[in-house]
Structure 1
Amino acid sequence: MTANWKDINKPSSPATAVTAAQVANGPVIPPQQRLLTYSADEWEGFVEEWAYYCLTANYKHVQRFSGAGDMGIDVAGFVDDKRLQGVWDNYQCKHYDHAIRPSDVWAEFGKVIWHSYSGEYTIPRHYYFVSPRGSGTSLSRLFSNAEKLRDELIANWDKHVKVAITSKQEVLLDAKLRAYVDAFDFSIFDAKTALQLVGDHRTTPVHVARFGGGLPTRPSSEKPPQVVAVAESRYVTQLLGAYGEHTGTTLTDPSALSVPKLKDHFRRQREAFYEAESLRVFARDSVPPGTFESLLDDIHDGVIDTHDATHADGYEKVCAVTKAARDMQITANALITCTKPKDRDGICHQLVNEERIRWTRP
């Protein structure tokens, strides 16, 4: 038998040059796709994180329940201090290789009915099934028809529910419990999709840490007001003292600056401070807590030897320290991709405000 040979064609080249980030990390995986790779425990952790950062305006407390005896509660949002005895919502986490089917969750309906019937907690205001693949067609139809959902649950009670609520006993649908089920408001049940959660999560400071994809565009900073603000008072006082050392005069007010070089330097330093303050706000909204503070520490560690060296006067010290900050090689901090040279000057003044460095002699 004669073998058939076929030449392998050269693959087409990528449309654009490969970036360093692509070489280091590979292609970006969309968040919804990444969530499919999570374990059930990782999925619960993500839902807890989403609830904490995205729902705090709705709740006084957010709590994750785990392990045996969770009574069918995964992540709960509490409106008041009464918690399970007050107004609350339940987020029931499910992570399957398919969209949620009614057969996957009959027991979950039974749990909330049984434990609220038994007085373990009040009936939740809302009960959401949260799954990366969402709810399937059959379950979605039941969510839109509370009466049919009740009927289907009753029909499946003996087969799927009575032995699955608790390991301590079978929960029989006797006349008293059946009356409770008949009066139960099944409209509290619904589902949330991964798309909804990711859309909310995208606005949080922990989104890029979990999913990558780069930081959002940093907005422009405010321009310094004409009058020095209270938040500037310490570093401005130190700057004026540094200028006074340089000129051999006493300066207590910016309006007294008469040397053009110093007036221009003062203007630039105030602009730098406001740039750094805008970076602080951007960091608060875009990266995990502590990221900006870590950048401050990096700058401090990089300039402290220059700061402690001997300088002719305070002005020369300011120039030397801010130059050292601009010349630093910082690669690890997440904010470094969106920082500007002025930010580093401004961070030095923030360090003065925090009394970690100073521009004048003690």
Structure 2
Amino acid sequence: MRNSWKQRDPMRVELGECQVKVAVIGCGTMGRTHAAEWKRMPGIRLAGVCDAQEGAVRSLAGRLETEAYEDFDRMIGEADPDIVDICLPTHLHKEFIFKAARTGRHVICEKPIALSADEAEEAAAECKKQGVRLFIGHVVRFFPSYADIRRKAAEGTIGTPAVLHAKRMGANPGLAKPWYANSDKSGGVILDLMIHDIDFAQSLFGRAVSVYAMNRREGNTDYALATLRFGGGEIAHLEAYWGFPGPFTTGVELAGTGGVLRFNSENAVSLRVFKAKETASGSGVAAAVPVPKSPSTYNPYYLELAHFADCVRTGREPEVTVEDACSALRTSLAVIESARTGRPVKLKDINAREGENRHVYR
């Protein structure tokens, strides 16, 4: 059967002068989250949602007052979106990036970009070939507390940043969605959860040059620890945990030559600065400087998606580039390899190109 859509020029309309049409494929947790944010965003029309599960797609479409589709080609032909937002299981990312790009649509895809470095590079190359933009949803960059840490590091608040500690833990999603429990489809806790903090660490220090990790899986527990080293001597210690019995929890601490920046989601204060303070005796005394909570009008997913839409309209480079997403994937795969072998893994020269191991916070 012939497809109902025709390939088009992705810039056939002046996106800066009209409403941008977005279609979301995948009506699971992330699809519902993205669709709800698109629905309330000025200048955006949620043209449709798509999922193979009729109940899920009709429920979401009804709640958000948009069209429901169970077939991707039909959605493209009838909804005619400018942007396709892919919120599918990881093992389907490459397939649908190709599908969307080949119809001339710009693509937003949840992280990770793919399951392998080859798949990621092929997806990026296909979008470039078709003349469409590709954006990968590493949303932690848009969480206000994490953005505050990057900004204060860049301002020199704690001197020269040197050591990062980050943790991310929650219930095992494989209990609700079996594909998460299948490493061939999700990549496990490292590729699905720790990759958030891998990307954040690399946004601070540049590309990692080596990793050393462990990963324990037993029953409903998938737990990983990793140490990343960077070209300037910086170190990141990362922890990721599926099977945590408490609420979803994140924390990050960035230590520098002049102080510490710290955030923990369990605390009421978004970000605390513990800065070294010289006293009359010359001894250093840690002083807590509370930073007001960030406004909650727009959540990080809204900020991320609005940023991507603006990049489509204006042609500007995104906060998270395709190269960033590919590098986060390569580093995550190196972490998996280190945990498998019990040995440190040096990343290949592709992660050590000139300019990629700069101190990003400067």
Give your verdict on TM over 0.5.
no
Q: Which has the higher contact order (CA 8 A, sep 6+)?
A: 2
TM-score (norm 2): 0.22
Instruction: Select the structure that is richer in strand.
Output: 2
TM-score (norm 1): 0.22
